[in-house]
Amino acid sequence: MIRVLVAEDHTIVREGIKQLIGLAKDLCVAGEAANGEQLLEALRSTPCEVVLLDISMPGVNGLEAIPRIRALNNPPAVLVLSMHDEAQMAARALKIGAAGYATKDSDPALLLTAIRKVASGGRYIDPELADRMVFEVGLTDSRPAHTSLSEREFSVFERLVRGEGVNEIAQQLAVSSKTVSTHKARLMQKLGLHSVADLVKYAVEHKLL
């Protein structure tokens, strides 16, 4: 039996995923989490073979959680399930340790296949994304500006476009407000933008929000 821990902050989506997994005779839901902190806490006491991980969660987001999961003793495979159907996002997740990347508009049967594949030590990429990754990710001239952001800068970017303030972000990331302001200034410079409104517009245009 393949045990799956579902990390997803939207209750309706999480319940739907649990029902889908429940239909498969060789899969079961070992636990669930609504944010990154709950996920990391659950992993301390919940044995599982696969973590089904949403990228955009409050607190510790999916991209920040992946290296922490991989650092555990006998870590489970991480299968990202994201609303982002962007090749750059998939490449970023795989680079830092995810075993697979599926999108939320994937065929349900493909999601179950993906869970089985990463549980057995394999890797999985959403078929529609795979071709785009081959052609987009390696072509530096066509890479969007946000791919140059560091992991921490990207985390700050994600939180800013969700409407969080500098002090709130600092508290969540356990750093000073000054550090967050520095990251904010750097990412603004890298993206060539000048306001949070510009960031939100950029995020919408690149399907990051």
Per-residue pLDDT of the chain (209 residues; tens, 9 = 90+): 999 999 998 999 999 999 999 999 999 999 999 988 899 999 999 999 999 999 888 777 888 899 999 999 889 999 999 887 677 788 888 888 999 999 888 888 899 999 999 999 999 998 878 877 766 555 545 677 887 788 788 889 989 998 999 999 998 888 899 999 999 999 998 898 989 999 999 988 887 87
What distance in Å separates the CA atoms of residue 203 and residue 200, rounded to the nearest whole number? Answer: 5
Tokens coding 151:
């992991």
CA distance 174 to 167: 10
pLDDT at residue 115 in the model: 96
Half-sphere exposure of 118 (CA within 13 A, CB side): 31
For the entire predicted model, the pTM comes to: 0.70
